[in-house]
Structures are given as structure tokens and as C-alpha cells.
Amino acid sequence: MKKLLYVLLGLVLLVVIAIGVLVAVINPNDFKPLIADEVKKATGRELVIDGDISWHFWPSLGLSVEKLAFKNPKRFAEPDMLKLDKAEMSVAVMPLLSDQLDIGMVSLYGAHVFIQTLPNGTSNLDGLSGETVPAEESKSGETSPATAETASADTKPAAAWIITIGGLDVVDASATVRDDKAHTKSEISSLNLNIGKLETGVWVPIDFDVTGKQNALAFNAKGSAEAMIEKDIMKSQLRKLALSASASDAQMKLENVSLNVDQLGLGVPMALSFEAKGNANDMTFDAKGKTSLNVNEAISLITATNFELNSQISGEGLPRPEMMIGFNGDVEFDNNAQKASLTNMKASVDELTVDGEANVVLADIPAVRFDVHSSKINVDAFLGNPNSSTQGDKPAGNSESAGEPATPSTPPAKKQPLSDVEPDLSALKALDIAGVITIDDFIASNVQVTDVMANFAVNRGKVAINQFDANLYGGTIAAKGSLDASVSPARYQVTKGMKNVNVQLLLVAAAGQDMLSGKGNIDVNVSGVGLSEKRLRSGITGTVGINFVDGAINGINIPEMIREAKATLKGKRAEYVDEARKTDFSGMSATFNLGKGIASTRNLKVEAPALRVHSEGQTNLLNETLDFDVFVSVVGTSKGQGGKDIDELKDLTIPVKINGTWQAPGYKLDVKALLSSNKVLETKARKEAERGLKKLLGDKADDDKVKQVTDKLLKGLFN
């Protein structure tokens, strides 16, 4: 036994001495031409080794190469595709006797890689496959027995060898990837990478730092992790991943982005957290988030449960100087169906909150579907609208007994001309969105609606409001509509019905006007072309029908005008009565026809105590002027507004002219029309006028010339 051991030790010593003699005697630099020639044959490229090739012996067989360059064809921007300042590696000698290839640390110093794609699509990577037809291969594609035997001899030992690598150390490497066809350029100016001993089944440390540039975006990053490499590479894992980075260009600066993952692998839950801080487009942001991520082994399903994001943003272009954005929910991505789903969602922007679910199917235009809810959205308060209500979110003038219109604290601003600039709706052409929104309490432009339910869709520039229901100031509103933004100017159509709405509260909230009160029904059926301010008013066509009950017209007291008319007929002044400037009515109805910038009616009717009102006229939607003739008939009852003074004028019609503007309407009694439309009054007034003239002129009143002048005056008064 001892003899056998001595023999084996002798053989090992002989091998070691032989390798030592080989290393000492043979100069590897003598093989430079041979190596370059073989590379040329395999790739068609030049390999230049300007530095020395050296090796050393014991305890490992080491090899180092200096100043190596793998050349590019002449038409490319840089002469070298790959160059190295120095490369080193070693192989342990003793394990070779046990079929173990134990490679030590592989070190690369000053490596630079240059990859370029020319405008015609040609790359310096083309032609490097090195695939050739072996000489032994017959034309029929069969391998000769000798070749098969050689292959078997070569492959059989390789399968039995155990290969380990002591690690990889990349020092001060760089790279350039340039695509002249796509006009992009990526650069790594510095890369340092250290990987521990590469063995299967053990955790291997990894550290790196990199600095570079992607087109105009400069970046740097560093990180560390531990890797578990398995024979089945898809089962490999990372743990303790920590990554930090920064980046900047002319529009954006990321001061810091960090990512931490406890473990990373297929089929295992991964606790992930991240932070990002910086500014972009004059807006600063500071965001933090976390989630539990899981990717199944088939990489067909990715889930992120309890995804949480909190961000603080600030900037002059925002609705508020500083805003808080929050998000929480579960995210799932089905890779086979290319569908992302969001469930258990809770999102917030300051005090505005939304919950619900949504999903997106990826396509040329992503298809977005959603069902979301919000308890309260106050757009006025969110945007800081100074005209919004501050008392319990109720609009000003909420009292149903309000009578006199509110006096503005400041004079109205000068009216600006209507804009004829169409809004840019091109973004709608790239949308495919459909869903339902429900809002418990919604306030916008000082108008409050509750129990809102909106079902709408946007598909490639066409918007459809399939359903809009809400409660509005004691009543309800239901609407449908469509908008076609695929053509220019856009076309729209709207049908809307409001039932039992408190009109006074609505008008005060929406327009700051207290000119009408009562319970009202409004039916709208309109369409038009164009969405600019000017075209909305000039291009709208259709009808608006109103039917109000138990209300009042504020700002005008028709019984008072009747008393004034009575006094005028008697040549007296009406006595002052301390009454609110309003006219009560039991019913009001009208149909307005819209077209060519005009809203006109021929059937506005008001039924009031002791009164019946009929009106015809129009309002110009462009210059906001009024031109209405109102005819008031006194009916035979003394009950209600006006009392016995009106009874004396029953069965008569009193005309009133309404003109002026929407902001400052004017009302006046049309005396000429009053007299000409009531013959009894006209005859009586003529006699009273003639008697007054005779009293004034005395004997001259019988003169023919004076009579002619008197007749002309009376004719001008009553005709």
C-alpha cells in the first residue's frame, strides 16, 4: 500500500515538474500570431495584442494579457469593438487531477465595448456567429464515425468535470451603444463590478457602481445583493437587494431613487420598498411606496398586493402650491392576456378621495374599464374658487324666502369678447375608456348635486354619456349626451330632464341671480357644432322647455306696475306701497327655440293671483341682450297679490317691455301699447287729454290750427 502511495506521489510530482518546466521554457507571446490568425478565421476580424501574455505557476496556473483589442470593420466610428488594458485569470493545479476545473478570480481592467448600428441597419455585431460546416460533415448531413467518436470523447469528460469560478472583478469598464438608425446613444463611462465565488447552491455577494448617459439623460447608480445560482437558472434568486440611483437632464432631475427588496425570485413573495425625490417640469416631488410582489414560475402572472404610494408634490402649475397624493390597492398583471387589474383601490389627492376598481387591456390603444366611487368632491374648494360657498358647502342665497336680489360688493367686470378658439381634443382620439362613477356629494361652479351616477365611454375621439343621474336642489336630473371629437369642429348632442328642482337655489348658486323662484321642470334637447365660447352660443340648436309652479319672478312687481298704469290713466302718481319687488305665480311654462345665436319663445305663460301673463320675445346669446314683450291680463278676482285696486282694472291687458342685458335687465310699462290695446281706456284718455288742453289753452283751443296741432299730439300719444 505504501508503495502504491509513493508511486502516486511520484506521478503527481512528475506532472508538477513537467508543468513547471513547460511554463519556464515556453514563452506564450510566441503564440500571438497563431491566436490572431485563429480569431481572424473564426470571425473575420483582427485581434491585436500589444502587451505581454504571461503566466505563472503554483499554487495556481495563471494567465494575464495586456493591451488587447478586437477590431471593428473600417466603416464604423471607433476602431475597436472590444479593448482591454489587462485581463487576468488563474486555474488551481491540484484539482485538475480530480476532474475539477477550479478557476480563480477573473479580473478585467479598463475594458471598453463599442456597439454601433449604421443608418442602413448594419451592426458591428453582424457576422460574429462563427458558424461553419465541419469538414468531416458529409453532403448528406451525416457525421462520419471518426467525427462522432471524437465528439463523444470530447463531450464525455466535460460532463464529468466540476467547474467553479472564484469570482469576477470588472474594474473601470466602459461601453457605448450607438444606433444611428434610431438616433439614440447610450454610454457607460465607468462600471465597477465585483461578484464573489460563483457556485451553485450558495449565496454569492454582488456589488456594483455605474455612471453613464442615455441620450441627454445622465445617470449614476450603485447597489449590492446576494445571488443564489441554481443549475436551473430560472430557479436562481437574489436577496438583500439595495439599489440607489440619480439622474438628470434639461427637464428633469432625480436627486435620489432607491429600491430595496428582501428577496427576488420566481414563485416567492418579495417585500419591496422604494423612494424617489426630485423635480420635473418645474414641479418637485417626494414619493415613497411599498408592496409585496409575486411572479409565478411561468412568468404569466405578476401580483403586487397592498401596493402603497404616498407622494408630496409642489409647483406653480398645480391647483395648489403643495399637494399630497396617496394610493393603495392590489395590482395584478396577466402576461398572457396582457391585462392589468386594479382592485381594492383607494386613491386620494388632498381631501379628494376615490375608491373602486379598474382594469387595462394592453393594445394599440389600451382599453381602460373602471367602476369608482367618491363620498365627496368639492371642485371649487379644491381649486380655491373665491366664489365657492364656505358655509356647509351650501350656495349663497339658500333661503327659500329670499326676495331682493343680492347687491354685488364690487361692480361687474368688463365683459370680455367671446373666444372662437376651439379646445384641443386630440388626446381623446388615443383613448378607449368606459366605466361608472358614483359620487355622494359633488360641488362645481358653486352648484351642488348629490347621489351622482355617471356611466360614460370614450372611444377613439367619440364620447358617449350613456347615463347621468343626480339629485339637484330638492329635485332630480337625468341626462344623456354624445360628443364626436373625431371631426373638427366637434359635434355634440344633449338631452336632459330636471324634475321638481328649486329654481331659486339653482340660479343663485349657478349664476348669482335671484330673479326666479319655484319648483321647476326643465327639458333640454339640443345639439350643435363647435365648442368654443362663440360657437357654443351661435351653433346650438334645439329646444328648452320649462314648467315651474308655486314661485315668483323677483325684481319685478307686476301689480305695482298695474297701479302705476291706473294712476297714469287718471293723470296721477301711484301711491307707494312697501312690497317686495316680486310677482308671485302658481304656474309658468315656456318653450324656447335655439338657433343662430338666438333663444326665442312665443308661448311663455304665467298664471298668478288676479293675473295672467303671456310673453313673446327673444334673447341674444352672443351679446346677452333681452327683448321681450310681456302682456299682463287682470282677471276677475280680488284675492291674492294686488287686492281691490286690481279689481278695478279687470279684463284689461297691460303690456310691459323687458330689455337690457342678462346682468342688468330693465322693465318698463308700455303706456302707448297699454292705451292702444284697450279701446275704452284710449277713448277715456283722449277725452281727459282734450279737456286738459282746453283748460290749458282756453278760447284758443277752438281755433282750427290749434285743433290740428292738438290732434297730432294725441295721435302721437295713442298710436
Q: What is the mean pLDDT of residues 33-52?
A: 83
- Tens of pLDDT, residues 104-145: 888 999 999 999 999 999 999 988 755 443 444 334 444 444
Whether the CB-CB separation of 418 and 442 falls below 8 Å is answered with: no
In the chain, % of residues over pLDDT 70: 73
Q: Which helix (H) or strand (E) holds 69?
A: strand 60-71
- Tens of pLDDT, residues 52-96: 877 766 566 777 889 999 999 988 999 999 999 998 888 776 776
Q: What is the mean pLDDT of residues 513-538?
A: 90
Grid cell for residue 258: 432607491
* Alpha-carbon distances, residue 242 vs 172, 245, 335, 472, 683 (angstroms): 21, 10, 27, 55, 103
Beta strand extents in 154-300 (DSSP E only):
162-179, 184-195, 203-214, 217-228, 237-248, 252-264, 270-280, 283-295
**Residue 393 has what pLDDT?**
42
Within 8 A by CB and 6+ apart from 487, the residues are none
Domain ranges within the chain, ordered by starting residue: 35-120+162-180+193-198, 199-350, 364-385+425-545, 555-574+581-677, 686-718
Average pLDDT score over the chain: 80
- Tens of pLDDT, residues 428-437: 999 999 999 9
pLDDT band for position 406 (cuts 50, 70, 90): very low
Q: Is the peptide bond before 157 cis (omega within 30 degrees of 0)?
A: no
pLDDT band for position 389 (cuts 50, 70, 90): very low
Determine the Cα–Cα distance for residues 62 and 55; give it in Å rounded to an integer.
Answer: 5
- Tens of pLDDT, residues 207-236: 999 999 999 999 999 999 999 988 888 889
Three-class SS state of 432: strand
Q: What is the mean pLDDT of residues 308-313?
A: 96
Whether the CB-CB separation of 324 and 310 falls below 8 Å is answered with: yes
**Residue 316 has what pLDDT?**
86
**Residue 650 has what pLDDT?**
56
Letter for the amino acid at 200? T
Using a 10 angstrom Cβ sphere, with 0-12 exposed, 13-18 middle and 19 or more buried, the burial of residue 154 is exposed
**Residue 273 has what pLDDT?**
97
pLDDT at 558 > cutoff 60:
yes
pLDDT band for position 24 (cuts 50, 70, 90): low
List the beta bridge partners of residue 102.
Answer: 164
pLDDT at 341 > cutoff 90:
yes
- Tens of pLDDT, residues 616-663: 999 999 999 999 988 877 775 544 444 444 445 555 677 888 899 888
Q: What is the mean pLDDT of residues 296-316?
A: 94
